[in-house]
Structure 1
Amino acid sequence: MGAMQESNTEQLRNRPVLSFVRRSGRLDARLQRAWDRYAGEYLLDVNAGEGSLDVRPGVTIDGGYVCRTWGNDNPLIVEIGTGQGENIVAAAAAHPDMNFLALEVYDPGVAHTMLLAGKQGLGNLRIAQVNAPELFKVMADGVVAEVWTYFPDPWPKMRHHKRRIVQPALAGEIRRALVPGGLWRIATDIEDYALHVHEVMDAMPGFENVGGLTVSLPTEHVGKGNADEAAGLPHADFVESPRFEGRVLTNFERKGLQAGRVIHDFAYRAV
């Protein structure tokens, strides 16, 4: 094997596992107008370069950065994977005394979030179009009040479970970034993802599961091809949370409910 081939193989081996697939989402005329009009106001300049989802070297999200960016030192809430922005925009409108940061990688979602926020003239919302684990690496200790991760990509195939966003490495960075007593709120409508969250978070140092509901889940994982076997697997009781009242009912969640899926809510407190 030549030196160049060895170098390429090493780069592939060390490349981080992403929780999303890079794809170009074309903007229609309405979303392009929103991007052109609002990007300067809402989109943070933290990217390593044009088209990159990495964070630029030298960026640090600390108290000073929050004050310079939002103009105050109000509590900061970060949502990982904001989709079309329905939830975080509604939260920002309902809580002008709090700061909100939307993390989304896809152009249409970013543009639609800008559009919703811009229509209401929200000044307490910003958007970062970067890989969430990379951004949390540059966050200072105790700079975030809450983190929200609602209905993340379930990556249903067994071989893709490693791509799920809830992982020990990210959990460790979030724990460090949270204020003492801060919360990581998670929701999913996929039963196997709920088991995954319990496996990662219930034993995670520095977090306390503060849920008050008992649910029964299979204790073995299933994938896309054998999900129908879940009901016949051994089950055990797990602790989860009531639905967070601060989460609006988005179109995505509504479709899940209409399909008969159960919503699993989690709240983990930094201790």
Structure 2
Amino acid sequence: MTDTKHPSGAPWRNFYGRFKGKTLRPSQKDYLDTDLDALSPGPVSWEDNPERTKLDTTALFEGRPLWLEIGFGGGEHLVHQALQNPGVGIIGCEPFINGVAMLLGKIREAGVKNLRVFPGDARDMFDVLPSGSVEKAFLLYPDPWPKKRHHRRRFVTPEHLDPLFDCLAPGAEFRVATDIPDYVRQTLIEVPKAGFEWRAEGPADWRAPWADWISTRYEQKALREGRTPHYMTFRKPA
């Protein structure tokens, strides 16, 4: 839907996930109160940026390449990538505030300086990222929405993929990991339709994790329950 419904002028966007779970621990509340504002990538929400002015991503990370993680869960992978790649800047988007609090604790413990955190819907981030500004993006174990009538809620739909494609630089890599076979099927249909190229040349390219991969708690749960992870690599054509 494109009709504006909010006083800010924001388009109506249905959000079907959770914003908050169990009660936060005092330490997690402290992370949110003390650290979150300093890690903001800039004005992203409609309330803070109703004109949808683009972020100055070059200034944000002092000219370093920009990466993006969409739905970082508890933040294990995000912090791992930041530690392994100090020469890049990474923005993580996550609307689930408990996950945001977990990430902030990991950032404080690890002492990483090349991360920024947006506690909201990735679609709002897409609005304000300049075209062609992101050189790598991650979508790792997204909400599977297993019921067929809910498949339109999945990330791998044009509502999300089209603006993501615009934000990515030519030649940029887009990684998707999931343990849900039907999500794999939908990904392999919808992501190429959005303009991406699938980089697999053989079964090992989707069965084996990436060389710089760190297994997350979501993947460990999938393995315990007998599900098989798939690791799909796409590329925006150069």
TM-score above 0.5, yes or no: yes
The residue number in structure 1 matching 2:32 is: 35
Query: Which string of whole-angstrom CA distances, capped at 9 and with x for unpartnered residues, describes residues 137-179 of structure 1?
Result: 2221110001100000000111111100111232121111111
TM-score (norm 2): 0.87
The DSSP-based 3-state class of the residue aligned with 1:260 is coil
- 2:65 is the alignment partner of 1:67: no
The residue number in structure 1 matching 2:236 is: 270
- 2:17 is the alignment partner of 1:20: yes
Q: Aligned partners of 2:146 and 2:31: how far apart in 1?
A: 33
How big is the shift at 1:10? 9.6
How big is the shift at 1:242? 3.7
The DSSP-based 3-state class of the residue aligned with 2:193 is coil
Given that 1:19 and 1:153 are in contact with CA atoms closer than 8 Å, whether structure 2 keeps it comes out as no
The residue number in structure 1 matching 2:8 is: none
> Cα gap change, 1:249/1:209 in structure 2, threshold over 3 Å: closer, same or farther?
same
Q: Which amino acid aligns with 1:140?
A: P
The DSSP-based 3-state class of the residue aligned with 2:69 is strand
> Cα gap change, 1:174/1:22 in structure 2, threshold over 3 Å: closer, same or farther?
same
> Cα gap change, 1:241/1:144 in structure 2, threshold over 3 Å: closer, same or farther?
farther
The residue number in structure 2 matching 1:211 is: 200
The residue number in structure 2 matching 1:225 is: none
Alignment: residue pair count: 230
The residue number in structure 1 matching 2:51 is: 58
How big is the shift at 1:22? 4.1
The DSSP-based 3-state class of the residue aligned with 1:198 is helix
Question: Percent of aligned positions with the same letter in both sequences?
Answer: 28
How big is the shift at 1:58? 3.1
Q: Aligned partners of 1:256 and 1:171: how far apart in 2?
A: 25
TM alignment of 1:1-271, pairs within 5 A: 15-23=12-20, 26-44=23-41, 45-49=43-47, 56-62=49-55, 65-70=56-61, 72-204=62-194, 206-214=195-203, 240=206, 242-271=208-237
> Cα gap change, 1:189/1:263 in structure 2, threshold over 3 Å: closer, same or farther?
same
How big is the shift at 1:91? 0.8
Q: Aligned partners of 1:207 and 1:241: how far apart in 2?
A: 20
Given that 2:123 and 2:160 are in contact with CA atoms closer than 8 Å, whether structure 1 keeps it comes out as yes
Q: Aligned partners of 1:174 and 1:163: how far apart in 2?
A: 16
Q: Which amino acid aligns with 1:207?
A: F
Larger Rg: 1
Moved more, 257-266 or 95-104: 257-266
Q: Which amino acid aligns with 1:112?
A: M
> Cα gap change, 1:22/1:159 in structure 2, threshold over 3 Å: closer, same or farther?
farther
Q: Which amino acid aligns with 2:39?
A: Y
TM-score (norm 1): 0.77
Given that 1:189 and 1:256 are in contact with CA atoms closer than 8 Å, whether structure 2 keeps it comes out as yes
User: Which sections of structure 2, spanning at least 5 residues, go unmatched?
Assistant: 6-10
Q: Which amino acid aligns with 1:210?
A: R
Query: Which string of whole-angstrom CA distances, capped at 9 and with x for unpartnered residues, describes residues 213-251 of structure 1?
Result: 349xxxxxxxxxxxxxxxxxxxxxxx8464222221112
Query: Which string of whole-angstrom CA distances, capped at 9 and with x for unpartnered residues, describes residues 31-80 of structure 1?
Result: 0122222123213443234xxxxx73234445xx123323x111111000
Q: Which amino acid aligns with 1:47?
A: S
Given that 2:21 and 2:98 are in contact with CA atoms closer than 8 Å, whether structure 1 keeps it comes out as no
